Chains A and B, each alone.
Chain A
Amino acid sequence: MKPTRSFFKDVLREGPASGVPKSAEKSGVLTSEGIQPESQIISGTRSRQESAKADNFASEPERYELHSSALHHFDLQRRDFFKVLGAGIAIFTVAANASAAQESGTRRHHGDQDQPRDISSWLHINDDGIVTVFTGKVEVGQNTRTTLAQSVADELRVPLASIRMVMGDTALTPFDMGTFGSRSTPYMSPQLRRAASAARDLLLAQAAAEWKTTPDKLTTRDGKITNPASGATLTYAQLAQGKTLARDMPDADPITPPEQWTIAGKSAPKVAARAFVTGQHQYTPDLHPINVLHAKVLRPATFGASLVSADLSAAQAMPGAVVVRDGDFVAVAAPNERAAEKALAAIHAEWKNEPQSSSKELYSYLKKNLDREENPKPHEKGSVANGLAAASQHHEQTYTVAYIAHAPLEPRAAVADWKDGKLTVYTGSQRPFGIQEELSAALHLPKDQVRVIVPDTGSAYGGKHTGDAALEAARLSRAANRPVKIVWTREEEFTWSYFRPAGVIEIKSAIAPDGKLSAWEFHNYNSGGSGIQTPYDVANQLIQFHPVNSPLRQGSYRGLAATANHFARECFMDELAQLTKIDPLELRMKNLSDPRLRAVFESAAKTFGWPQNKTQPGQGFGMGGGVEKGGYVATFAEIAIAANSGEVRVVRVVTAFECGAIVNPDGLRQQVIGANIMGLGGALFESLEFDDGRISNPHFAQYRVPRFRDIPKIEAILLDRKDLPPAGAGETPIVGLAPAIGNAISDATGIRLRALPLAPRGLNARKNSA
Chain B
Amino acid sequence: MAGPIHTQINGKNRAFEADPDTTLLFALREELGLTGTKYGCGEGQCGACTILLNGTPRRSCQLSVIDAAGKSIVTIEGFEQNGQLHPVQQAFLDQGAFQCAYCTSGMIVSSVALLQKNPNPDEQEIVHALQGNICRCGTHPRIVAAVQQAGKAMQVGTSHGKNSQ
Chain A residues at the B interface, C-beta cutoff of 8 Å = 19, 21, 23-24, 32-35, 37, 140-143, 269-270, 273-274, 276-283, 285-286, 288, 294, 336-339, 407-411, 456-459, 461, 487, 489-490, 666, 670, 673-678, 699-701, 705-709, 711, 714
Assembled-state Cα–Cα distance A487/B39 (Å)? 9
| Cβ A458 vs Cβ B163 within 8 A | no
Chain B neighbourhood of A37, CB < 8 A: 141, 145
Contact of B94 among A24, A33, A408, A675 (CB under 8 A): A24
Chain B neighbourhood of A281, CB < 8 A: 101
Question: What is the distance, in angstroms, from A291's C-beta to the closest C-beta of chain B?
Answer: 13
Q: Does B5 contact A (CB under 8 A)?
A: no
Tally of contact residues, B, Cβ under 8 A: 68
Contact of B123 among A35, A666, A705 (CB under 8 A): A35
Q: Does B68 contact A (CB under 8 A)?
A: no
| Cβ A283 vs Cβ B99 within 8 A | no
Given contacts A286-B35, A338-B26, contact A140 B100 (CB under 8 A): yes
Q: Does B43 contact A (CB under 8 A)?
A: yes
| Cβ B141 vs Cβ A673 within 8 A | yes
Assembled-state Cα–Cα distance A142/B100 (Å)? 7
Mask: chain B, 37-69; 1 = CB below 8 Å from A; 0 = not = 111111101101000000000000000000000
Question: What is the distance, in angstroms, from A762's C-beta to the closest C-beta of chain B?
Answer: 18
Chain B neighbourhood of A269, CB < 8 A: 93, 96, 163
Question: What is the distance, in angstroms, from A670's C-beta to the closest C-beta of chain B?
Answer: 6
Q: A273-B96, A336-B26, A411-B40 are in contact. List 17 more A-B contacts (CB 8 A).
A: A19-B165, A21-B163, A21-B165, A35-B141, A35-B145, A277-B92, A277-B104, A277-B108, A278-B89, A288-B35, A409-B100, A458-B100, A461-B136, A489-B42, A674-B139, A678-B138, A708-B133
Chain A neighbourhood of B36, CB < 8 A: 278-280
Question: What is the distance, in angstroms, from B1's C-beta to the closest C-beta of chain A?
Answer: 12
Chain B neighbourhood of A23, CB < 8 A: 162-163
Mask: chain B, 102-136; 1 = CB below 8 Å from A; 0 = not = 11110010000000000000010011101111111
Assembled-state Cα–Cα distance A580/B30 (Å)? 65
Chain A neighbourhood of B145, CB < 8 A: 32, 35, 37
Given contacts A286-B35, A409-B102, A699-B43, contact A705 B134 (CB under 8 A): yes
Chain A neighbourhood of B133, CB < 8 A: 707-708
Assembled-state Cα–Cα distance A678/B134 (Å)? 11
Ordered by A's residue number, 6 sampled pairs between the chains whose C-beta atoms are within 8 Å are A23-B162, A269-B93, A674-B138, A701-B45, A707-B131, A708-B127
Assembled-state Cα–Cα distance A277/B102 (Å)? 10
Assembled-state Cα–Cα distance A678/B132 (Å)? 17
| Cβ B144 vs Cβ A279 within 8 A | no
A to B contact number (C-beta, < 8 Å): 190
Chain A neighbourhood of B139, CB < 8 A: 670, 674
Assembled-state Cα–Cα distance A678/B103 (Å)? 15
| Cβ A459 vs Cβ B100 within 8 A | yes
Contact of A282 among B35, B134, B142 (CB under 8 A): B35
Interface centre among A21, A286, A706 (most CB of B within 10 A): A286
| Cβ B22 vs Cβ A409 within 8 A | no
| Cβ A33 vs Cβ B141 within 8 A | yes
Question: What is the distance, in angstroms, from A701's C-beta to the closest C-beta of chain B?
Answer: 5
| Cβ A410 vs Cβ B77 within 8 A | no
Chain B neighbourhood of A456, CB < 8 A: 100
Contact of A141 among B22, B26, B46, B101 (CB under 8 A): B101
Question: What is the distance, in angstroms, from B146's C-beta to the closest C-beta of chain A?
Answer: 10
| Cβ B141 vs Cβ A279 within 8 A | no
Assembled-state Cα–Cα distance A458/B101 (Å)? 7
Given contacts A273-B93, A338-B21, A708-B127, contact A700 B136 (CB under 8 A): no
Assembled-state Cα–Cα distance A450/B158 (Å)? 50
Q: Does B75 contact A (CB under 8 A)?
A: yes
Assembled-state Cα–Cα distance A489/B85 (Å)? 32
Chain B neighbourhood of A283, CB < 8 A: 38, 102
Given contacts A458-B101, A674-B139, contact A278 B26 (CB under 8 A): no
Chain A's closest residue to B33 (CB) is A288
Assembled-state Cα–Cα distance A458/B38 (Å)? 10
Chain A's closest residue to B108 (CB) is A277
Mask: chain B, 77-103; 1 = CB below 8 Å from A; 0 = not = 101100001000110111010111111
| Cβ A459 vs Cβ B22 within 8 A | no
Assembled-state Cα–Cα distance A711/B136 (Å)? 12
Chain B's closest residue to A408 (CB) is B136
| Cβ A457 vs Cβ B105 within 8 A | no
Chain B's closest residue to A283 (CB) is B102
Chain B neighbourhood of A459, CB < 8 A: 99-100, 102, 136-137
Chain A neighbourhood of B163, CB < 8 A: 21, 23-24, 269
Assembled-state Cα–Cα distance A486/B30 (Å)? 13
Question: What is the distance, in angstroms, from A637's C-beta to the closest C-beta of chain B?
Answer: 15
| Cβ B45 vs Cβ A699 within 8 A | yes
Mask: chain B, 138-156; 1 = CB below 8 Å from A; 0 = not = 1111111100000000000
Question: What is the distance, in angstroms, from A459's C-beta to the closest C-beta of chain B?
Answer: 4
Query: Which 10 residue pairs are nearest across A and B when measured between Cβ atoms?
Result: A279-B36, A141-B100, A677-B138, A458-B102, A674-B138, A279-B76, A700-B45, A286-B35, A276-B101, A24-B163
